[in-house]
Amino acid sequence: MAKVLIATVKPFAAEAVEQIKNVLESAGYEYEFLEKYDGEEKLKEALRDADALIVRSDKITPSVINAADNLKIIVRAGAGYDNIDLDAATKKGIVVMNTPGQNSNAVAELVLGMMVYQARNHFNGTSGRELKGKKLGIHAYGNVGKNVARIAKGFGMIVGAFDPFVEKASIEADGVKVYENVEDMYSDCDYVSLHIPATKQTIKSINYDLLSKMKDDATLVNSARKEVINEDDLLKIFEEKKGFKYISDIAPDNKEVIAEKFEGRYFFTPKKMGAQTAEANINAGIAAAKQIINFIEKGETKFKVN
């Protein structure tokens, strides 16, 4: 009987856990949940007899992978798989998958929620601003970007996107303007929302060159990864543009400096909150369990990323 380890430092909602158990039990699989663990050693120990692993943002390092002698598949229940060392997995013949799209509505709702919170001065009782009529630029038009566009249009925002990897016609079909040039989007919009993955090419790519193009009172929204921001450049922009705001799902490393100097112009979630809904946990967790079953039983490798 194959065994699935579900290792989540940040646990799934209880409803999702129950549903994942049902899917695995019905297929005749063994499972173990390792939640809120601290340290790699606990993960290594639990992985010893596992054939398959489901994780969220849990760090899967070469040392973890090398300690897992039975492991055949890792599924990241979510979109970004920058937490998994793909080279180490590939070397060991382990398939890695993600579950694209399953938590994207949750992330998109948080994006708009943070935007309203910032535009209304953190609900402090003073007059804020509305989103209606403001221009929003979506940097990368994947599953989350598309959902952000849909919701933002409901608010009456004027929505554009930059994504050289997505066909222009499919973006336009959503009633979203296509920016051919990323700088044009940054200079034209009141809000820019980031949806790029963290890769060698994108880490620190949101830098002074790009941010300096933004309007003086623009807001940068980050529900992607903190690593894509060049934080030294971000500080320079905060200094130079007196109305610039930065709102992010997870704080930057230099959050103390920002908090001390730029009160009212930032908001950071205490923990990564984008995918923290029962719905997203259910969608991503069940998709991950089913992908494992289909891989072990039928060799299906849809959503393989290595």
Judged by the rule CB under 6 A, the positions of this chain that interact with ligand 3PG are 10, 56-57, 78-80, 103, 272, 274-275
Distance CA 140, CA 3 (A): 37
* Minimum CB distance to ligand 3PG, residue 223 (Å): 8
Is residue 305 packed enough to be buried (19+ CB in 10 Å), middle (13-18) or exposed (0-12)?
A: middle
If the CB atoms of residues 262 and 268 are measured against ligand 3PG, the closer one turns out to be 268
If the CB atoms of residues 100 and 160 are measured against ligand 3PG, the closer one turns out to be 100
If the CB atoms of residues 99 and 119 are measured against ligand 3PG, the closer one turns out to be 99
Nearest-CB residue to ligand 3PG?
78
* Minimum CB distance to ligand 3PG, residue 80 (Å): 3
Task: Specify which residues 214 forms β-bridges with.
Answer: none
Task: Specify which residues 60 forms β-bridges with.
Answer: 84
If the CB atoms of residues 98 and 219 are measured against ligand 3PG, the closer one turns out to be 98
> DSSP state, 192?
E
Distance CA 32, CA 45 (A): 12
* Minimum CB distance to ligand 3PG, residue 108 (Å): 12
If the CB atoms of residues 245 and 272 are measured against ligand 3PG, the closer one turns out to be 272
Distance CA 86, CA 65 (A): 10
If the CB atoms of residues 244 and 277 are measured against ligand 3PG, the closer one turns out to be 277
Which of 149, 154, 195 is closest to 175 using CA atoms? 149
> DSSP state, 84?
B
* Minimum CB distance to ligand 3PG, residue 79 (Å): 4
Distance CA 236, CA 177 (A): 30
Q: Which amino acid is at 51?
A: D
* Minimum CB distance to ligand 3PG, residue 303 (Å): 13
* Minimum CB distance to ligand 3PG, residue 116 (Å): 21
Question: Hey, is 178 helix, strand or coil?
Answer: strand
